[in-house]
Amino acid sequence: MEDIKASAHVEHHIAVPSQSLGENTIGLDDEVLLQLSEQIPDFSALVEKARRASHVEHHLTNWDAFKLFPRAIAFSLVLSLAIIMEGYDTSLLGSFYAYPTFQERFGVPSKQGGYQVTSNWQTGLQNGTNVGQICGLIIAGLIADRWGYKKTMIGALVSLVGFIFLMFFANNIGMLFAGEVLCGIPWGAFQTLTTTYAAEVSPIVLRPYLTTYVNLCWVTGQFISTGVLRGLLNRTDEWGWRIPYAIQWIWPVPIIIGVLFAPESPWWLVRHGKIEEAKRSLDRLAHPGDSEYDTGDAVALMIITNAHEKITREGVTYWDCLKGVDRRRTEIVCCVWMCQVFCGIWYGGNIVYFLQQISFRNDQAFDFGLGVNAIGWCGTVCSWFVMQRVGRRKLFVTGLGIMFTVLMLVGFLGIPNKTSSGLSYSSAALLLVFVFTYDLTVGPVTYCLISEIPSTRLRIKSAVLARNCYNIASIIANFLNPPILNPTAWNLKGKGGFIWAPLCLICFVWSFFRLPEPKGRTAPELDLLFDKKIPARKFSEFEVTPFRSTNFEVVSETTAVTEKL
């Protein structure tokens, strides 16, 4: 029998020798567990509560979670509506390049007849939006960490109402550019706040639905913009392009009202030491009824997770995202979001303009665009059910593989100099497959990964860095994609698939070797998996015991800590 000796005197808990962990089981380091016990009052009681909370989370069914968190779902859905505005305008801008009244107002005469917005201005307008979003993301990350989600969201929504005036009253393309830059600032705030708020008010089982709902809002915005332009296609006056901009004023006011009634994130409150407020926030978000769920237990899990991350990590600045174990987590979220761009969606998703360049009529192109957005919307809804079965990693990697194949096929179909109607329709059909695959896999899965992979204390700032990587990748794509399709530039049409396919292949290779599977893991479990440097492809093989160390575990209140020799 192994000898046991008392090693320290610590109130309110006891650590007893624990059975050795299995080969594929990991737990806390002994030193970390002792530090937690010394720093947290009533540690053993909190551990028992946290264990119960973890057990409940792991055993919640979808239906139980929907009954438990109806208000959390409602508030998350309301905040995520802000992404509709971003999806609306980004799609609006891309579709405007194929819109006759916009082309005539802001374009130049084309050798092929009619008007075209020059490739340089197409790039400039889209990159102006991205520059604004980069600034907005950095500002939002700092403000949200200091002042909370609610105040940051309200400030962004109010500022957006004012910035829309610039685009609505634009009388030249330079003024339009300024409006896109300024509107990009609140859009940048929405990109990170909506996803991280959804992750922080929902249990594990609801996280895929509420975070990928953000992608659904994006697709919904694109669908609305294409529908609006299709409805106004026959207008020949300036209201043909002013009305679509004016429609953006519809969204901010109802969203502001919803944000005012929404509770602050309980995780944010715990990070700032407002424990009682965190409990009240959870009481407003959850409706336990006669279930085993207890808001006090859930807050205890947050307290221990926050304390553990304080001990094992240095700080909560942007620089801390690039240090120690968090460097790997930051790499993953940054690359995942860049994969959304480099998989080729800038090319495959710009279907209205693409179809015009391969001889589709304007009304045909916009009708097809509506169909594509509807298919993308259905793809996102389907992802909710597929992701729960196959996980994030497998869905993400498979999607990239299919998209690479589609891009290559579109490239081969674009080789003939004189494109027949059969080849044009074949290319269009393949792009339907491409968009559906994207919105079933890479598009929505990214939002789920962004919310789950970072540590809780660095979640906002990690999401900011990741989304800025996305925006930088978007700037590259905005320089690359317009010349591929624009008849006044490279005019590659279908052969542009050969440009994007190698980039998609790189994304596939990276994700296969570096993307882990976070499905079904609580925040402390993910912390341990990353702390122990588990390889990405083996994440799902390990059992995690976040409240045990290799040698001992907390079991009850007493006055001695025993340690295995």
Three-class secondary structure assignment of 244-255: HHHHHHHCHHHH
Is the pLDDT at 505 greater than 70, yes or no? yes
Predicted pLDDT at 520: 87
In the numeric block, which tokens belong to residue 278? 């965190």
HEC profile of 486-550: CCCCCCCHHHHHHHHHHHHHHHHHHHHHHCCCCCCCCHHHHHHHHHCCCCHHHHHHCEEEEEEEC
Taking 90 as the threshold, does the pLDDT of residue 276 lie above it?
yes
- Same domain for 320 and 181, yes or no, is yes
- Reading the block at residue 196, the tokens are 């991280």
pLDDT at position 333 = 96
| Pair (104, 185) in one structural domain | yes
Contact 432, 543 (CB under 8 A): no
DSSP-assigned letters across all residues of 17-32: E-PPPPTTEEEE-HHH
3-state SS, residue 481: helix
Q: State what percent of residues in the chain have pLDDT above 90.
A: 36
Centroid of chain to Cα 328: 18
Interatomic CA distance for residues 25 and 27, integer angstroms = 7
- Which whole-number Å values give the CA distances from 306 to 280, 312, 313, in the listed order? 18, 10, 10
235 and 337 assigned to the same domain:
yes
How many degrees, rounded to 5, is the angle at CA 478 between CA 130 and CA 339?
80
If you average pLDDT over every residue of the chain, what do you get? 84
Q: Give the pLDDT score at 560.
A: 37
CATH number for the domain spanning 341: value is 1.20.1250.20
Q: Helix 149-168 crosses helix 119-147 at what angle (to 10 degrees)?
A: 150
The verdict on 122 and 21 lying in the same domain is: no
Cβ atoms of residues 467 and 337 within 8 Å: yes
Average pLDDT for 223-249: 84
Chain position carrying tokens 């080969």: 23
Is residue 279 included in any domain, yes or no? no
The region of weakest confidence among 261-265, 279-283, 412-416 is 412-416
Q: In which band, very low, low, confident or very high, does the pLDDT at 110 lie, cut at 50, 70 and 90?
A: confident
Band (pLDDT 50/70/90 cuts) for residue 115 is: confident
Q: Is residue 300 part of a domain?
A: no
Mean pLDDT of 510-515: 96
**128 and 81 co-located in one domain:** yes
The C-alpha atoms of residue 78 and residue 241 are separated, in whole angstroms, by 28
Question: Has residue 5 got a pLDDT over 70?
Answer: no
Q: Is the dihedral of CA 369, 372, 378, 382 positive or negative?
A: negative
| 138 and 216, same domain (yes or no) | yes
Three-class DSSP labels, 84-109: HHHHHHHHHHHHHCCCHHHHHHHCEE
Domain that holds residue 145: 62-262+313-515
The answer to whether residue 479 is domain-embedded is yes
**For residue 559, is pLDDT > 50?**
no
Query: What's the residue count for the chain?
Result: 565
- E strand or H helix that includes residue 553: strand 552-554
Between CA 332 and CA 320 the distance in angstroms is: 15
Higher pLDDT, 80 or 485: 80
Distances (CA, A) of 452 to 222, 231, 413, 462, 521: 26, 40, 40, 11, 9
Please tell me whether residues 416 and 545 are part of one structural domain: no
Q: Is the pLDDT of residue 243 over 70?
A: yes
Distance CA 563, CA 65 (A): 39
Q: How many CB atoms lie within 10 A of CB 105?
A: 20
Residue 52 domain flag: no
Give the contacts of 295 (CB within 8 A, at least 6 positions apart).
279, 282, 283, 286, 288
Residues ≥6 apart with Cβ < 8 Å to 1: none
Shared domain for 41 and 154, answered yes or no, is no
Q: Kindly report, residue by residue over 287-336, the tens digit of the pLDDT.
A: 877 678 888 999 999 999 999 888 887 778 889 999 888 999 999 999 99
pLDDT of 59 over the 70 cut: yes
Q: How confident is the model at residue 279 (pLDDT cuts 50, 70, 90)?
A: very high
Residue 298: inside a domain: no
Taking only the tens place, the pLDDT of each residue in 204-233 is 899 989 998 988 888 888 888 878 887 887
> What local confidence, expressed as pLDDT, does residue 551 receive?
66
Q: Is 121 exposed, middle or buried (0-12, 13-18, 19+ CB in 10 A)?
A: buried
Confidence (pLDDT) at 156: 94
DSSP string, 33-56: HHHHHHHSTTHHHHHHHHHHHHHH
| pLDDT of 19 | 52
pLDDT above 70 (res 386): yes
- Is 294 part of a structural domain of the chain? no
Helices marked H in 247-294: 252-261, 266-271, 275-285
- Please report the pLDDT score of residue 139 as a whole number: 92
Same domain, 541 and 508: no
Q: Do both 402 and 531 map to the same domain?
A: no
| Residue spans of alpha helices (H) in 232-348 | 239-246, 252-261, 266-271, 275-285, 295-312, 326-342, 345-348
Domain boundary among 480, 498, 515: 515
- Of 219 and 440, the structure prediction assigns the larger pLDDT to 440
Name the nearest CA neighbour of 316 among 459, 446, 422: 459
Same-domain check for residues 550 and 438: no
Alpha carbon 406 to chain centroid, angstroms: 24
Does 289 map to a domain? no
Q: Is residue 295 part of a domain?
A: no
Cα dihedral 190, 192, 194, 198, rounded to 10, equals 180
Q: Are residues 34 and 79 in the same domain?
A: no
CA-CA-CA-CA torsion sign (118, 124, 127, 133)? negative
pLDDT of 368 reads 75
Mean pLDDT of 6-10: 36
Number of structural domains (the chain) is 2
Is residue 420 over pLDDT 60? Answer: no
